[in-house]
Structure 1
Amino acid sequence: MLDVPVIDIAPFRDGRDPDGVARAVDRACREIGFLVIGGHGIDPALVDATRATARDFFDLPLAEKRRVARPAPNVARGYIGMEEESVGRSRDPSATAGDLNESLMIGPVDAPDAAYAAAGGAHFAANLWPARPAALRDVWSDYYRAMGGLAAVLMRIFARALDLDERHFDPLIDRHISRLRVRNYPAPATPPLPGQIRAGAHSDYGSLTILCTEDRPGGLQVCNAEGAWRDVPIVPDTFIVNIGDLMARWTNDTWVSTLHRVVNPPAAAGAASRRLSLVFFHNPNYDAPIESLVPGPAKYPPTTSGAHLARLFSTTQNPAAA
């Protein structure tokens, strides 16, 4: 599989053909690590509202956005400005050119019990909500919950694809430490530095990522099994899904966590190249044990979701912006 497939998951959700969906997802996860899903059941109006409030936030003056700036590299909350991060550093520590995007992150919006949250530390850090736009907090909270529900469906598909009980992952994701990160890729105002792109080549850290993006110049590409960069298709009323390093580790690399990047638009694209991406990084409960789910010798020592993520969260900060 050299291109990203489009898979309708409605036959899993309504029970018509759960095994057929699981087989298609298993093949995509084994061969390219990406898929585009339709039949997901998410209200398009919620997506539109999330995108509208995000656009309003990123259009604010920089000084106002910085009032909710990320407080520390190991705290995945708040605003990160243009070129303040280089996601490519997670693969290549020598990469220092900052990515050409800005973002706002939130974490869990429904806190677990106080003792569990305290033990989870920075994974349950407080969200930093901007004063404007006023609707952002409620809209993003609803979107976060909707993505958590969709991720739970996907994890059940994953379980069936891995020949596990369909609800195998349910108790491991009921207090998940996922992040919603909205990225704004402005239309370029100046030429990029040599090698600088909108988001450097990287793989995601967690179990799976659910992306809703726009069909604009300068988009997402995935590196396939032949080492070629392929554009990920933008299909109306779908989400792009990819597995992350944690899920690859959980499957003993039976499934692949694939390199991907966001490239620059053509210089002549102008204002039409502004792109807004809603990115939900799903991560299991911080204390969920991560060890091989498939038969055969394990390639990795046991760890936990929280330990795995904590090791990676601070690697992408751009030293020049520190």
Structure 2
Amino acid sequence: MPLLHVPIIDIEPFLQGDDRAKRAVAAEVDRACRDIGFLIISGHGVAPELLARMRAVSNAFFDLPMPDKLRVAQPAKDVTRGYIGIEQESVGRSRDATATAGDLNESLMIGPVDAVDPAYAAAPAAGKHFAPNLWPEAPAELRDTFSTYYREMGQLATQLMRIFALGLGLDEHHFDTSVDKHISRLRVRNYPAQSETPVPGQIRAGAHSDYGSLTILATEDKPGGLQVFNAAGEWVDVPIVPDCFIINIGDLMARWTNDAWVSTLHRVVNPPADAGAASRRLSVVFFHNPNYDAEIRCIPTCTGDAPKYPATTSGEHLRTLFVATQNA
């Protein structure tokens, strides 16, 4: 029977253990990625204090007056930097082009924080993936905190890709050269308490799958949360476990594995109408994306009868989806 709920997996044995311990963790992760595409990880080694600082500076930013937030507004649809306001985006449009209702959240996003080879960053194929970050003037500690968290998530993502490689029957370092100049995004979403009734079909984040290799999510146990569409055709709540991260794979990882692993639909639902201020929710999301020139082609252990998808690159795939999800 496939997993119908999101499992909790302790990855510390992989980070600290011998080859046998690593393979045991990888086997658990492989099953989760095949069955439901989501897992919750403990034993990741990220300090709780860092996440607490992220929440504090993020809430302080979203509490600023709107003119202050708009000083770092996203400059263009294909530049994934800066502030996006409530209802300006509809992530459900990546799966359903007719979806028009904007999502009931606002967000602030950054990209790579450390310099790479200038020639690599400026090459035509790089597009806008190394665009400069837009840093608000306040709170003063936001830039340092976001940058530290981005680097920490990048390191964790590298370890998760190594777990993935073992789970797929590959050498542990198979993906290393595809993610050593990753174009990941750190995006913090604020889901405000809802003072007005949403229009029909409008929720906090519409049903969608993520675009890249994997997502690392830290969120809060508050009304109106994350749901996953499981193999039985049911929407199930994702539990919030203290000091753990929610991990899911994205469309590129599904392509890499010839759909042996599933990039699962998920959404963020509205809180009950009477939830009030207690329903304000903050999500800290790290979207891990491979190097823009990484070729995404079916890996050898997942070919099956034949590859389902033509080869693509990480950068081109992401660029088209970023534009598709935003409202005019």
Distance 1:227 1:249 in 2: 22
Deviation at 1:135, TM superposition (A): 0.2
SS in 1 for 2:74: coil
Residue of structure 2 aligned with 1:155, choices 136, 140, 161 = 161
Give the aligned partner of residue 314 of structure 1: 323
Task: State yes or no: 1:245 paired with 2:251.
Answer: yes
Deviation at 1:277, TM superposition (A): 0.2
Distance 1:171 1:15 in 2: 23
Letter in 1 for 2:249: I
Residue of structure 2 aligned with 1:295, choices 296, 303, 310 = 303
Q: Which moved more, 1:11-20 or 1:21-30?
A: 11-20
Letter in 1 for 2:11: I
Give the aligned partner of residue 304 of structure 1: 313
Residue of structure 2 aligned with 1:184, choices 182, 190, 211 = 190
Distance 1:189 1:60 in 2: 18
Give the aligned partner of residue 11 of structure 2: 9
Q: Which moved more, 1:204-213 or 1:10-19?
A: 10-19
CA deviations over 1:55-91 (Å, ceiling 9, x no partner) = 0000000111000000111111000000000000111
Letter in 1 for 2:121: A
Distance 2:294 2:127 in 1: 15
Deviation at 1:15, TM superposition (A): 1.3
Assess if the C-alpha contact under 8 Å between 1:178 and 1:283 holds in 2: yes
Deviation at 1:295, TM superposition (A): 2.8
Deviation at 1:171, TM superposition (A): 1.0
Distance 1:281 1:191 in 2: 30
Residue of structure 1 aligned with 2:220, choices 210, 214, 217 = 214
Which consecutive segments of 4 or more residues in structure 1 shift more than 4 A? none
Give the aligned partner of residue 95 of structure 1: 99
Q: Which stretches in structure 2 are left out of the alignment for 5+ residues? A: none
Give the aligned partner of residue 170 of structure 2: 164
Give the aligned partner of residue 133 of structure 1: 139
Deviation at 1:121, TM superposition (A): 2.4
Deviation at 1:3, TM superposition (A): 0.2
Give the aligned partner of residue 273 of structure 1: 279
Give the TM-score of the pair, scaled to structure 1: 0.98
Counterparts of 1:70-81 in structure 2, within 5 Å, are 70-81=74-85
Assess if the C-alpha contact under 8 Å between 1:23 and 1:161 holds in 2: yes
What value does the CA root-mean-square deviation take over the aligned residues? 0.6
Letter in 2 for 1:10: E
Assess if the C-alpha contact under 8 Å between 1:111 and 1:124 holds in 2: no
Assess if the C-alpha contact under 8 Å between 1:184 and 1:274 holds in 2: yes
CA deviations over 1:193-240 (Å, ceiling 9, x no partner) = 001000000000000000000000000000000110000010000000
Give the aligned partner of residue 200 of structure 2: 194
SS in 1 for 2:71: helix
Counting matched residue pairs gives 319
Residue of structure 2 aligned with 1:83, choices 74, 87, 95 = 87
Q: Which stretches in structure 1 are left out of the alignment for 5+ residues? A: none
Distance 2:127 2:264 in 1: 29
SS in 2 for 1:124: coil
SS in 2 for 1:241: strand
Letter in 2 for 1:117: A
Q: Which moved more, 1:130-139 or 1:303-312?
A: 303-312
Deviation at 1:311, TM superposition (A): 1.7
Assess if the C-alpha contact under 8 Å between 1:220 and 1:232 holds in 2: yes
Distance 1:295 1:243 in 2: 19
Letter in 1 for 2:317: H
Distance 1:279 1:227 in 2: 25
Distance 1:298 1:38 in 2: 34
Distance 1:31 1:236 in 2: 24
Assess if the C-alpha contact under 8 Å between 1:291 and 1:302 holds in 2: yes
Distance 2:303 2:229 in 1: 28
